[in-house]
Amino acid sequence: MNTAVPLITVKDLTVGYGSYVVQQGLSFTVNRQDVFIIMGPSGCGKSSLLRVLVGLLPPASGQVLYDDVDFWAQDETQRQHMLRRTGLLFQSGALWSSMTLAENVGLPLQRYTNLSPKAVREQTSLKLALVGLAGFEDFYPSEISGGMRKRAGLARALALDPEIVFFDEPSAGLDPVSAALLDELILELKENLKMTIVVVTHDLDSIFTIGNNSVFLDAATRTMITGGDPHILRTDPTHPDVVRFLNRGRTPGNASNQQGHIL
């Protein structure tokens, strides 16, 4: 029995900058507790689509619905209220270098809640512990590794206990071991906190390790080619460009390999 419950519904969306169209005709659904992958080759508009979903870039046309509420049809105040349900991990982590990890993670709590300084500190320590950074509250971003900075950025994205967390190229700049550990953490958070995850990536290891649903954006036609479970799309003969993308770096002898790793 299909128990999928839609959380984000995109309808006939066009993404662009002025008269320049990046993507058009996008229609897809992100279900509750999906790990939804926005994938495609470099330059296809993945991050631009993400900016529309998180309120940073108005669409040229079309709709983004959160639980059937048209996000971009609301005024700024209502959009900001809706975004309280979400968290965002930027590609770089986007931590303030002059602030400690605790101060970075505590910023959303200070701005959007009435918690006391003591309660903010407690919540900050809890969120850092969730991402494996217990005891690092008073460290500065320059004092920790790139993988740890990504985790600290994730702790900040989790500060307000979001229902949905968006990731922009989470494995970018990480070594394979750190990237794999971050993928494991994403799955743990999804299972333990019952969150919905939306990830922009072209990394095959991440796509096949964490993704259960997806949309594939094509740079040439500036629209989506297909969507669904990446493990199924990998062998779908009706979309050869998607098959090539999802099997790049794999030798013909490993065509049936179910891990999808780059060799």
Span 185-219, pLDDT tens digits = 999 999 999 999 999 998 999 999 999 999 999 99
**2 falls in which pLDDT band (50, 70, 90)?**
low
- Report the share of the chain in percent with pLDDT over 90: 79
pLDDT at 143 over 90: yes
**92 falls in which pLDDT band (50, 70, 90)?**
low
- Structure confidence by residue, pLDDT tens digits, 26-72: 999 999 999 999 999 989 999 999 999 999 999 999 999 999 999 99
> Do residue 132 and residue 153 come from a single domain?
yes
Strand order in the sheet with 20-31: 20-31, 6-17, 61-66, 69-70
**15 falls in which pLDDT band (50, 70, 90)?**
very high
39: in domain: yes
Task: Give the pLDDT score at 263.
Answer: 24
259: in domain: no
Task: Give the pLDDT score at 3.
Answer: 73
H-state helical runs in 38-157: 46-53, 76-83, 101-112, 117-130, 146-157
**250 falls in which pLDDT band (50, 70, 90)?**
low
| Arithmetic mean of pLDDT, 147-165 | 93
> Do residue 42 and residue 14 come from a single domain?
yes
> Do residue 59 and residue 183 come from a single domain?
yes
pLDDT at 249 over 90: no
Which residue in this structure is represented by tokens 């508009």?
A: 45
Task: Give the pLDDT score at 257.
Answer: 43
Residue 4 or 2, more confident: 4
DSSP state of 32: T
pLDDT at 260 over 60: no
> Do residue 149 and residue 170 come from a single domain?
no
**256 falls in which pLDDT band (50, 70, 90)?**
very low
263: in domain: no
93: in domain: no
92: in domain: no
Q: Which domain holds residue 114?
A: 99-162
Task: Give the pLDDT score at 153.
Answer: 92
> Do residue 153 and residue 207 come from a single domain?
no
pLDDT at 262 over 80: no
Determine the Cα–Cα distance for residues 221 and 234; give it in Å rounded to an integer: 20
Given 130, 162, 194, the domain boundary residue is 162
* CATH number of the CATH domain containing 185: 3.40.50.300
Given 147, 162, 177, the domain boundary residue is 162
> Do residue 158 and residue 168 come from a single domain?
no
pLDDT at 251 over 90: no
255: in domain: no
Please give the mean pLDDT across all residues of the chain.
Answer: 90
72: in domain: yes
Q: How many structural domains comprise the chain? A: 2
Task: Give the pLDDT score at 93.
Answer: 64
Strand order in the sheet with 196-200: 86-89, 164-168, 196-200, 35-39, 213-218, 223-227
Task: Give the pLDDT score at 157.
Answer: 93
> Do residue 67 and residue 118 come from a single domain?
no
Q: Minimal CA–CA distance to 49: which of 254, 174, 227, 258?
A: 227
Residues in the chain: 263
Given 116, 138, 162, the domain boundary residue is 162
> Do residue 118 and residue 236 come from a single domain?
no
Contacts of 228 (CB under 8 A, 6+ apart): 213, 214
> Do residue 51 and residue 19 come from a single domain?
yes
**146 falls in which pLDDT band (50, 70, 90)?**
confident
> Do residue 70 and residue 170 come from a single domain?
yes
12: in domain: yes
DSSP state of 261: -
Amino acid at 222: R
**147 falls in which pLDDT band (50, 70, 90)?**
confident
Determine the Cα–Cα distance for residues 218 and 82; give it in Å rounded to an integer: 29
> Do residue 191 and residue 233 come from a single domain?
yes
> Do residue 39 and residue 156 come from a single domain?
no
